[in-house]
Structure 1
Amino acid sequence: MPEFNPTQYAVPLFVVAVLAEMIWAKLRAPEAYEPKDTLVSLSFGLGSTVAGALLGGFAITLMLLAYDWRVVDFGPEWWTVWWAWPLCFVLDDLKYYWVHRAGHRIRWMWASHVNHHSSQHYNLSTALRQSWTGAFTFGVLFGIPLVLLGFHPVMIAICGGFNLIYQFWIHTEAIKRMPAWFEAVMNTPSHHRVHHATNPRYLDTNYAGVFIIWDKLFGTFTPEVDDEPIRYGIVKQLGSFNLLWSVFHEWIGMIADIWHAPWKHKLSYLLREPGWSHDCSRETSDMIRAKWQVRTGIEVAPAATSVADRNPIAGSQEAA
C-alpha cells in the first residue's frame, strides 16, 4: 500500500479556515484571537510535527511487533478489505475516547495533554496546540488491542489522521449549534467548547473525538448551557506566552512533586489525578465541582469513575 498521510493534505484547508475565522473574529468577536497566543499555538503545531517525526518511530515499531500476534488476519492486501476501514475508524475513535480520558485523569498523561488546553482562547488555531511529548507517555498502548484484532498499524494511523482532521473544525465559537440530530451523535463545537472549559460544571466531560455517543454511553457527557459564559484554559492559567514553559511546565511540576514527596506517595504523583496531593493542600476538579455544587445548589451528573479511573481533568496547581 502506498504511504498516505491525510493530515498533510488537510494543512492548506487548515490555513484557509484559520484565516477565514480571523476575518470573522475581526468583524464579530475581536477578543477571539490574541496575536501572541495564536503565535504560540502555531509554534505548538510546528513543534509537534517535528517531535512526531523524531519520536514516532517507537510507537510504530511497537505496533508492528504487536501485529505479528494478531488473532485475525485480513490477508496480505489488507487495505483492499473495504469493510475493515469504517470498522477501524469507529473502533479507533473509541480508543481515542479512552486515551483522551486517561490524558485528563492520569497526571503522567496530563503532563503531555495539558498543552492542548493551555490557551485561554478558543479558536481554530487552538486545535494546533498538539503535544510535543506524547511519546514519553503510554498512550500508544491503547492502540495495541486494535492491532491484535488484525487492523494494520498503517490503517489505524490513517483512520487516526482523519479523526484528527475532523476535530479541527470543532475548535471554534463561530458555530453555535449544529442540527439536533447531528448534535446527538457527533462531536460538535458546542460539545467541545464544554470540554475546553474550566467552569466547574464542565470539568471532566466530553472526551469524544468524532462520536459524542461515547460520552453519553460512559457517563461523561455534559451539554453546553447558554446562560453561563465559558472560561477557557486550565484551572490555574499559565500567565505566560513563553513557548518552552507552555510545553514543559507540567512535566517540571510533576517531577518536582515526585522528588519532594515522601517515598510512599511518589508513585501517586505520577499516576493519580492532576491536583491530587498527599497532604490535601490542593484541589482536584472533583473537589472544585463539589464546592461549586454546594455553593450554587446546582446538581450536575458527575463524571463516571472506576477503581482505575478516578482522576479529574485539572487541579488547581498541577494543571497549570
Structure 2
Amino acid sequence: MIIPDLDSQVDVHEQAIDQRIQALPAGLAEDLHRWVRVLRGQGRRPHPARSFETIRKNLGYAYPVLQQWGSEHDSLREITPQHIESALSGLTGHQARGRLTALRSLFRALKQERLIFGDPIRGFALAAVVRLPTAIPTDRLRGLIDRASGPFAKLVVALVAVHGLGTREVAELRLADLDLAGGKLVVRRAGGRHIVHLDEITHRLTVAWLRERHRRWPATANPHLLVSQQTAHMDTKPPISRPVINGVFRPLSVGPAALRQDRILDEARYTADPVHLMRVFGISVTTAMNYIHAAHPERRSTLPR
C-alpha cells in the first residue's frame, strides 16, 4: 500500500486560487499574490493563517470586479473610492457583504505591505440589511388545522396560526390562565400579560384537547396547558419541549416561525400601528415596523418612526 506524501500535495483550493490569479493582468496578479501571502500569515506583520478555502471564497466575491479593473488598470494602486462605490452598487444581502469584506481585506493587506499609500475602501459600510417578512402562500395555509394529527397538534397549530403565539409561549401556557367560560387565555410575557381572546375554532379545539388531556392523564399535576407522555409524569412538572412542538409542524411542510410570521404580517395589513402589533404579538418596535413596512411598502416614507 502506497501512502501519499500529504506535504507534497497541492491544496485544491490553493490551485484554484493560483489559476484565477494567473488569468488576470500581471500587475493585478502580483498584488493578489501578495494578498494571499498576507492571509497565509507570511506578510510584514504576523497574522494567523487563513485557510486556502476561505481565501478562495473571498477571491470569488471580488473576482468579477477584479476582472473589470484588470481591463482598465495596471495596478490596484489606481483604484479610488469611486471604483469601490461602483463595485458595490446594485449588490444586496450576502453578495454585497461578501464583496465588501473581500475588498476590504485586499486593500488592507496591500496597505500593510506598503504597496498602496491610501486605502480606497476605508469608511465604506453597508446599510444594515433588514429582511422584511413575507407571506406564506395561501394554498399552504389552507387546511393546516385539519391536517394536524390529533387534539394536541390541532390546538398547537391554531395557537400559532390564528393567534400568532411563539413556540416558547405555547409551551409555557398555564392551565390556570385559561378561562373557557370567558373565552380568554392569558399569555405570560416578560413585559407583562397578554390576553388572547379565543375564536370559535380555537375554543372548540381547546375543549377537545382538555378532554384528551383528562382522558390520558387524569392525575397529572403538571400545571401547563399542554403536556406530553413524558412531562405529564415528571416530578419537575416542566413545559413541553420545543422539539415536541416543532414535530407537530413537520408533516405540514411549514415551520411554526414562518406560520407565526404570516399571521403577524396578515395583521399588519389591517393596521399601520406598531403599538398594536407590539401589544398583540409581544414583539419589539423594530420588528413591528419591519412588518408594517412589508405590509405597506407604498407608505414606508410616511409611517411613524
- Alignment TM class, shorter chain as reference: under 0.3
- Could you tell me the TM-score, scaled by structure 1's length? 0.23
Higher strand fraction: Structure 1 or Structure 2?
A: 2
Alignment TM-score, normalising by the size of structure 2: 0.24
